[in-house]
Chains A and B, each alone.
Chain A
Amino acid sequence: AQKVTQAQTEISVVEKEDVTLDCVYETRDTTYYLFWYKQPPSGELVFLIRRNSFDEQNEISGRYSWNFQKSTSSFNFTITASQVVDSAVYFCALSGVTSGSRLTFGEGTQLTVNP
């Protein structure tokens, strides 16, 4: 069975602060894929990143960065210099090779960036 845990239910920061969203996963698969999605107040799900289990290199995209550590089964997401537009619910998700394309989602983290 697969499991994704996002222990932070809600985070509130002031604009320009850096913030890290935690994601811990469990899977028995040796090949798996990790994802982050953003859900703004409008409700749609926006894909942010997909990472496979063989690629532990950290990734940076503008103000966003991701830290993947297999040793701790974590795939954390950092927003640098947060902005009000970053306010959203963020979901971490996992798909193992034995689960086909089925995604297992974490509970989500509500991020509020205050001006």
Chain B
Amino acid sequence: DAEITQSPRHKITETGRQVTLACHQTWNHNNMFWYRQDLGHGLRLIHYSYGVHDTNKGEVSDGYSVSRSNTEDLPLTLESAASSQTSVYFCASSERSGGYGYTFGSGTRLTVV
């Protein structure tokens, strides 16, 4: 069965370190997204991609970067982790515009100490 997986599920890192969160989907979706979830803010869009070699900034992109070298993967990198980036991160993919087939990963809980 097709799926979208995130790794790791939990991560603790130190301030200033570079961290990469993985997202892999086997739906063959062109659209992929990264959101962060914080109490009182719901989920906010960090970066997104509509296809290979396409990346775009979302509303809270400062301090984050993504790359899309194939259809299946959209890794999220925190260049220099900060305590404000402690959050739960969700990766998602979708079949096409309009939210068709929107699928979320199980989330990565990141703690920056």
Contacts and interface: CB of A to CB of B under 8 A. Distances in A.
Interface stretch (B14-22, B41-49, B65-73, B77-85): B41-49
A100 B31 contact: yes
Contacts of B50: 100
A6 B31 CA distance: 27
B99 A95 contact: yes
Chain B, interface SS category? strand
Given A102-B45, A107-B42, A33 B88 contact: no
A19 interface: no
Contacts of A102: 33, 45, 48, 58
B88 A91 contact: no
A91 B99 CA distance: 15
Nearest to A31: B98
Interface string A85-101: 00000010101010011
8 contacts: A33-B98, A43-B107, A95-B98, A100-B50, A102-B45, A102-B48, A104-B45, A107-B41
Contact of A101 (B41, B90, B99): B99
Given A43-B88, A43-B107, A44-B106, A101 B42 contact: no
A91 B98 contact: no
B96 interface: yes
Interface in A20-70: 33, 35, 43-45, 47, 50, 52
Interface of A: 4, 6, 9, 33, 35, 43-45, 47, 50, 52, 91, 93, 95, 97, 100-108
B48 A107 contact: no
Q: Which of B41, B43, B107 has the most CB of A within 10 A?
A: B43
Given A45-B107, A95-B98, A102-B33, 19 more contacts: A35-B99, A43-B106, A44-B106, A44-B107, A50-B99, A91-B43, A93-B43, A95-B99, A97-B98, A100-B31, A101-B48, A101-B96, A103-B43, A103-B92, A103-B99, A105-B35, A106-B42, A107-B41, A107-B42
Interface in B23-45: 31, 33, 35, 40-45
